[in-house]
Structure 1
């Protein structure tokens, strides 16, 4: 049994059909990259998995239990956490208060010491308000909030978007550390090279259809697929 199993989900925005019979699986302690061009359906997939969009049909199983009709707060209680592209860090409170707020409804929550061990930069900045942080530091807070809730699946939506290359390298190391410590991660990222450097397996979605599944090594050896669906060099 996979940690997360998705079978032929169909999702809509109003009358617009966005996801078409999308299926995927995620194993425990695995990093899965979901790749595709802008507008391909990547973020819609994450929002569907988080309950922000309920699929019109199909099945989503988490730890063997069907969850496709559950609201986001119940999925969060089950250990599924989405780190949105917008980060949504509270700007008027400190780093530590952002983390403490996230931990309030988690049972059990991780300790601040564990978080600061993973994110030494946040330990240094723990008394700074969210609005005083750089984009990379805000992204670290967003990931740390999911981690402190003891998530069993962390979904990252474009974590490297708009960040300087050096900051991206720091965040890649953070994600690598999370993966090595046994966290299960679903990664949506336009930076294909960075995503493949972290992933155990990858999917490609195109126009709402899942068109590829394989390992990073298999994808890197398939230049036709890369050019057709991603339009980049890896």
Structure 2
């Protein structure tokens, strides 16, 4: 049986007449961490949208495990174990923390406890009755990331989860990602802190103008040369990757 959790084969996609992704091949193996890097406009967010079912590709195939899901809706992919944590928190600001957590519980799960999320993010425990919009930015991101624990996914895709957060909160967020990975959850990570993403990843894809220009292990990447050539920044810059 294949250990590939997500596979994109020859995927092209875009919006209207604008093509963003061009003939992209990508694999995320069970229990692995894959970093997806690229400049602003490279196609990173578009790729996550295709993989999660929010955007249908114009060409190519998407597979979850060995099942083709190219035309499957996002809820079908969620049931198959796919979880997307989008840029911009992805929470309901006008609802309480408790209500947000309850909504993140999959309807097909009989266990309606969200204790596992509170264990991962104890800062939320005393704020269950507060409106989500009144939380700090870091707490809002923790609330968004709770879905990765409550949905019990086998694949979590994360789009710039550290954006706009204080360094101490970024450390907490990355620690939560390490916990997910250590428990066998596959991660596909789009991240502005490129060096941190490389440190935790098993495999790296580099996008440039919608095409994969590098695929390999992090130690195979000539980091500064590639970052200068495709991202226009040195490796240590915290803002080398932006959304698409």
* Alignment TM class, shorter chain as reference: over 0.9
CA distance in 1 between partners of 2:128 and 2:29 (Å)? 33
- d(CA) in 1 for partners of 2:45, 2:108: 25
Q: For the Cα contact (< 8 Å) 2:8–2:25, is it kept in 1?
A: yes
Residues 67-146 of structure 1 mapped to structure 2, 5 A cutoff: 67-107=69-109, 111-146=113-148
Q: Counterpart of 2:154?
A: 152
Aligned counterparts of 1:162 and 1:198: Cα–Cα separation in 2: 20
- State the alpha-carbon separation in 1 of the partners of residues 67 and 111 from structure 2: 23
Q: Is the 8 A contact 1:29 1:184 kept in 2?
A: yes
More displaced stretch, 9-18 vs 143-152: 143-152
- Aligned with residue 42 of structure 2, among 36, 40, 45: 40
Conserved 8 A contact 1:5-1:60 = yes
Question: For the residues of structure 1 that align with 2:8 and 2:218, how far apart are their CA atoms?
Answer: 21
Q: Is the 8 A contact 2:11 2:57 kept in 1?
A: yes
Give the C-alpha shift of residue 74 in structure 1. Answer: 1.4
4+ aligned runs moved over 4 Å, structure 1: none
TM-superposed deviation, 1:106: 3.9
Distance 1:183 1:118 in 2: 15
Q: TM-score, normalised by structure 2?
A: 0.90
Residue 189 of structure 1: CA displacement? 1.1
Q: Give the TM-score normalised by the residue count of structure 1.
A: 0.93
Gap runs ≥5 in structure 2: 237-244
Task: State the shift of 1:164 in Å.
Answer: 1.5
The Cα shift of 1:104 comes to 4.6
Superposition RMSD on alpha carbons, in Å?
1.6
The count of aligned residue pairs is 233
Structure 1 alignment gaps of length 5 or more: none
| Deviation by residue 1:84-108 (Cα, 9 ceiling, x = unmatched) | 1022211222212211112152436
Q: Structure 1 CA distance, aligned partners of 2:207 and 2:111?
A: 34
Residue 90 of structure 1 aligns to a residue in which SS?
coil
Alpha carbons of structure 1 residues 201 and 118: separation in structure 2 relative to 1, 3 Å: same
The Cα offsets for residues 34-62 of structure 1, whole Å up to 9 and x where unpaired, read as 00001100000000111111011111110
Deviation at 1:146, TM superposition (A): 3.2
Match of 2:56 in 1: 54
Q: 1:165 to 1:154 in 2, by over 3 A?
A: same
